[in-house]
Amino acid sequence: MTWLETFPGGTWQERWEATPAAAEPERWNVKVRAWAKTIGRSPTLATLQSGMLFLICVDAVRPDLRWLVANPSRFIRPAVQTARDPAGFARLEAAGSPTGRSGRHFSEALKAIAQIIIAYGGKIEDITVGDCLARLQASRRDSRGPRLAYAWLRDLGQFPSDAPATLTNFENRAGQASPAELVDRYGLQCTSVRNLIVDYLTERQSSLDYSSLKGLSAALASLFWADLEKHQPGINSLHLSAESSAAWKARIATKTVRKRQPDGTVVEVMEPRDSAPAVKQAVRAFYLDIAQWAFDEPERWGPWAAPTPVSDADCSVKKNEARQKSSSDQRTRERLPVLPVLVRVADQRLKAARARLDALNAAPLGSTFTVLGETFTVPRTTQRSDGRPSTVRDAQGRRRDLGTEEKRAFWAWATIEILRHTGIRIEELRELGHHSVISYTLPTTGEVVPLLQIAPSKTDQERLLLVTPELADVLSAVISRVRRGNSTVPVIHSYDTHERVWNSPMPLLYQWRVSGENRQISEHTIRQALDETLEASGLTDVSGNPLKFQPHDFRRIFITDAILNGLPPHIAQVIAGHGSINTTMGYAAIYPVDAIEAHQAFIARRRALRPVEEYRAVTPDEWQEFLGHFERRKLALGECGRAYGTDCAHEHACVRCPVLIVDFTEKPRLVEIRDNLTARIEEAEREGWGGEVEGLSTSRAAAEEKIARLDARQDRKESPVFLGIPPFDQVAARTSEVKAP
């Protein structure tokens, strides 16, 4: 206190804030010791800490949260509890912590509450949501205590009903943004167009979910108008020239992607933008909606009505849908055959992880144990409330958390089993609750069958699925695990990442305990667990790369397998929760064997309508006769074109025969025959053989005709084809005559 008197201020707090110790929390005692030496004093660190703790307890000074985090002390919490709010701390302990009354999580939560009281004054009942958030932001490395303290006070009803359910990932759970906030993310330069887009989104907001609204704002504000402002500075009108709209559509068709090369360098490459048709469709709807609304409110929307720069043909998605369908079918064909391998590996990983964890729980502290051919060393001490560690050291000295490995292996196994037996979406998987498992009594037989209720998701329609015995075993294992020996499933809050809202507390099945707090298992964690199982399976794709499974792949596999095994498509549509049967058939991959079997069935049906004798077995003699026909068609000049089963009608005078098919390569031989015939005719004329002259002349005429046909075919092949251009008088719709004056 004597040291504080050397600084200006009317209160002890003002003097404390004027000291360099308040600005340098890590070196505050160094400053005091240096001053103490000037008056012949040498206080110890314990003496200074005791004096500071006394001033804190009597509320003479209030160090900020940053100072308190930098100077932790195990005496702060009991001292503040005794001196500042004993009744409040007693009420907390009587209510019971969400993490239990023992263990470091319990102590860290109480310490965070004590630090908030020190920094802001008052009592426990005066702590607000902002106080807890400020304590969380004071130190990210020490976030467990503030989060548990917040959950503790929230469960006691100290915070408003609209307070966040948890401070975990608070920055990413800030709730829904307004249309103006969505548009202002992209820094549009033209204020009038910015206001127009905000008004348009506000009008559409009531008919869209938040995820669609956010996507629409990105399409209009970022991909459309911000892109135009970047390439056309100063633009302020929706009236776009043909050149501007064409250039924008060309730019939107591609995107720049950063890719890491094998050597570690990162390069930027251009790739087609799959969402380009959807963006153009949003822009087209933007123009058309404004034009339509201009009729109802001309003073508001009329000045902005303009011709749409996007035609209906620009929004065609046929090619994208065909490409996406082909890619999805290929993924399904590649993954359906290996699904049993993935299921087997997931089961093996879970059994191995449980064996390691059971061996750890049975081993004394500080001992070494061997399980499944691996040797682990147990730590000598643990801070866990149950007295059992979950981390060990393997033979190479690496730290292994066997408890976490068992948890991730279990949830990977449960995810694969539930997805492959139900075909539900991943967001529906995470929303499964204890109340989702219901029993239904058949009115006809009185038989009780288990059903799984799927909460409304993408199509806002709930549905019921029949629980198979295999699925019932998995759900039973999940419920037993989440109960943790209790009679009920813990009720927890969940955050809808798509709608950016907190859901009501529910007994969700996909939850686990992290740092003493029950949390919903994130989608990222589920995907990571699947990747770990795939890596352990060693499965590869056709190119030899590790095979990747997405949660949605199980949905496609489920629908494809169901339809291939005879389930009617319209029933598959109801089970999958699709709004259209075309969507369901788009999920079903068609295999080549299906097309072959369908074609064979068609041939069988067609043969059933034809005379049976037409399909009698062919005898060996008939088959040899058939093959011999084609052998006898081979001639020196080409091939004979007579029909099968007919004899030669020209007594093998092939040069004269009109069905002789002369090959281009045999033209020199044909020319040689013609010249020979000419020489023989000249000889017959000299000798006076009139009969020979007539027969030879007929053969030469036939040879010359065939040569002429070969030449004509060659000329047509080499010459361009003239399609013809009609004169103007043939295309003009009408004519007019100009009369002389």
Q: What is the pLDDT of residues 118-131, one digit of tens each?
A: 999 889 889 998 88
CATH, residue 532: 1.10.443
Please tell me the number of Cα atoms within 13 Å of 225 on its side-chain side. 31
Q: Is residue 379 part of a domain?
A: yes
**Are 225 and 148 contained in the same domain?**
no
Q: How far apart are CA 118 and CA 84, in angstroms?
A: 9
Q: Is residue 570 part of a domain?
A: no
The number of domains in the chain is 4
Of 98, 42, 48, 100, the closest CA to residue 73 belongs to: 48
Q: Is residue 630 part of a domain?
A: yes
Of 662, 666, 660, 661, the closest CA to residue 648 belongs to: 660
| The pLDDT of residue 734 | 43
**Are 139 and 211 contained in the same domain?**
no
Of 433, 428, 495, the closest CA to residue 171 belongs to: 495
570 close to 563: Cβ distance less than 8 angstroms: no
Q: How far apart are CA 283 and CA 277, in angstroms?
A: 10
Question: What predicted TM-score, i.e. pTM, was given to this entire model?
Answer: 0.67
- What does each C-alpha distance from 2 to 19, 188, 237, 364 come to in angstroms? 13, 58, 71, 54
Of 108, 157, 115, the closest CA to residue 134 belongs to: 115
Amino acid present at 705: E
**Are 293 and 343 contained in the same domain?**
no
Q: Is residue 69 part of a domain?
A: yes
Q: Is residue 659 part of a domain?
A: yes
Of 351, 357, 338, 333, the closest CA to residue 537 belongs to: 338
Residue 694 structural domain:
620-717
**Are 184 and 202 contained in the same domain?**
yes
Of 236, 246, 148, the closest CA to residue 196 belongs to: 236
Q: How far apart are CA 137 and CA 143, in angstroms?
A: 8
Last residue of a domain, one of 549, 570, 602: 549
Q: How far apart are CA 121 and CA 63, in angstroms?
A: 11
> Which residue shows structure tokens 């359910």?
165
Amino acid present at 234: G
232 close to 244: Cβ distance less than 8 angstroms: yes
Q: Is residue 725 part of a domain?
A: no
Instruction: Indicate the SS3 state at residue 41.
Output: coil
Q: Is residue 371 part of a domain?
A: yes
**Are 532 and 414 contained in the same domain?**
yes
Last residue of a domain, one of 549, 581, 611: 549
| The pLDDT of residue 568 | 75
455 close to 436: Cβ distance less than 8 angstroms: yes
**Are 14 and 133 contained in the same domain?**
yes
pLDDT tens-digit profile of 344-397?
A: 999 999 999 999 999 998 888 889 999 999 999 988 887 666 667 888 999 898
Q: How far apart are CA 684 and CA 690, in angstroms?
A: 7
Q: How far apart are CA 518 and CA 97, in angstroms?
A: 13
Helices (H), 156-209: 179-184, 191-204
**Are 457 and 532 contained in the same domain?**
yes
Under-70 pLDDT residues of the chain? 96-104, 140-142, 171-172, 383-387, 456-461, 516, 586-600, 602-603, 606-607, 610-617, 629-630, 644-645, 649-652, 719-741
Cα dihedral sign for 347, 348, 354, 358? positive
357 close to 341: Cβ distance less than 8 angstroms: no
Instruction: Indicate the SS3 state at residue 247.
Output: helix
551-564 helix and 569-576 helix, angle to the nearest 10 degrees: 150
Give the pair of three-digit tokens for residue 200: 């348009």
What percent of the chain has a predicted confidence (pLDDT) above 90? 26
Buried b (16+ CB within 10 A) or exposed e, 149-182: bbbbbbeeebbeeeebbbbbebeebeeebebeeb
| The pLDDT of residue 606 | 65
Q: How many helices (H) and strands (E) are present in the chain, helices listed first?
A: 31, 15
Last residue of a domain, one of 139, 172, 205: 172
Could you tell me which residues come within 8 angstroms of residue 647 by beta carbon, excluding any fewer than 6 positions away?
A: none
**Are 274 and 234 contained in the same domain?**
yes
Q: How far apart are CA 46 and CA 375, in angstroms?
A: 44
Q: How far apart are CA 1 and CA 18, in angstroms?
A: 13
453 close to 436: Cβ distance less than 8 angstroms: yes
Q: How far apart are CA 515 and CA 151, in angstroms?
A: 12
Of 332, 341, 345, 567, the closest CA to residue 466 belongs to: 567
**Are 113 and 139 contained in the same domain?**
yes
| The pLDDT of residue 101 | 46
**Are 165 and 280 contained in the same domain?**
no
Q: Is residue 334 part of a domain?
A: no
Amino acid present at 680: R
| The pLDDT of residue 487 | 78
**Are 154 and 211 contained in the same domain?**
no
Q: How far apart are CA 615 and CA 608, in angstroms?
A: 10
> Which residue shows structure tokens 């004590």?
114
**Are 422 and 376 contained in the same domain?**
yes
Tally Cβ neighbours within 10 Å of residue 69: 19
Could you tell me which residues come within 8 angstroms of residue 431 by beta carbon, excluding any fewer than 6 positions away?
A: 455, 457, 494, 508
Amino acid present at 688: G
Could you tell me which residues come within 8 angstroms of residue 65 by beta carbon, excluding any fewer than 6 positions away?
A: 115, 116, 119, 134, 135, 138
